[in-house]
Structure 1
């Protein structure tokens, strides 16, 4: 469990601390997938541009007199297929990461909204209710998780 969450002993019970820990874990998972997705977008775009530039200058321009000649040159070299396969693979990986990122974001946002919705149950006593802003401020400051409002 995170040290900052452990230090909330007087402000929260064990179940609330576990919920806060889970929202931190899901936020980190979402951020990691977000970074991987951006990296995969850059890689896919770079490979696609490289492939198109290569095809244009080394196949399309020299053999522009015939589509059959361009196709024959492309098919005769197995490295062209390998480069095309790698490009398609990176693009597919990018789409897979997008789906995983969206799922992680939905899980993170759902748990964050659940904490917001159940805040009256999590901080039942009057003294706890008055001090819950300290928990919210700590989560915002340390983990950039907004527990004040449901909107992102």
Structure 2
């Protein structure tokens, strides 16, 4: 369990601390997929640009007089096929990471909204209800998780 969540002894019960721990895990998972997707996206853009520039310089400029000669020159070099496959696979990886990022974001947002909806049940006593803002502030400051409002 995370140290700041463990320090919430009197303010929360064990179930609430476990829910806060799970929302932190989902947020970290979402952030991880978000950063990997961003890296894959920029790598795809960069590699695609380099590939098309290479094709332009090595195939399109010298053989621009005929499409058949351009196609023949493209097919004759096996490196073109491998670069094309690599670029397409990188594009597929980018889309796969985008889907995983969206799924992780939905899971994170659903659990965060569940905590917000159940806050009256999680902090039932009067003194717990008055001190819940310290828990919300700690989550916002340490993990950038907003438990005040359901909107992102």
With normalisation by structure 2, the TM-score equals: 0.99
Residue of structure 2 in register with 1:144 after alignment: 144
Q: Give the Å deviation of 1:25.
A: 0.3
Distance 1:61 1:73 in 2: 11
Q: Give the Å deviation of 1:57.
A: 1.1
After superposition, residues 6-85 of structure 1 pair within 5 angstroms as: 6-85=6-85
Distance 1:58 1:74 in 2: 9
Distance 1:22 1:146 in 2: 14
Q: Give the Å deviation of 1:71.
A: 0.3
Q: Give the Å deviation of 1:77.
A: 1.1
Q: Deviations over 1:91-140 (max 9, x none)?
A: 00000000000000000000000000000000001110000000000000
Residue of structure 2 in register with 1:116 after alignment: 116
Q: Give the Å deviation of 1:5.
A: 0.2
Residue of structure 2 in register with 1:90 after alignment: 90
Distance 1:54 1:66 in 2: 18
Distance 1:61 1:74 in 2: 12
Q: CA RMSD in A?
A: 0.4
Q: Secondary structure at the match of 2:10?
A: coil
Distance 2:144 2:64 in 1: 55
Structure 1 gaps, min length 5: none
Give 4+ residue runs of structure 1 displaced > 4 Å after superposition: none
Given the alignment of the two structures, is residue 127 of structure 1 paired with residue 127 of structure 2, yes or no? yes
Distance 1:142 1:51 in 2: 43
Q: Secondary structure at the match of 1:70?
A: helix
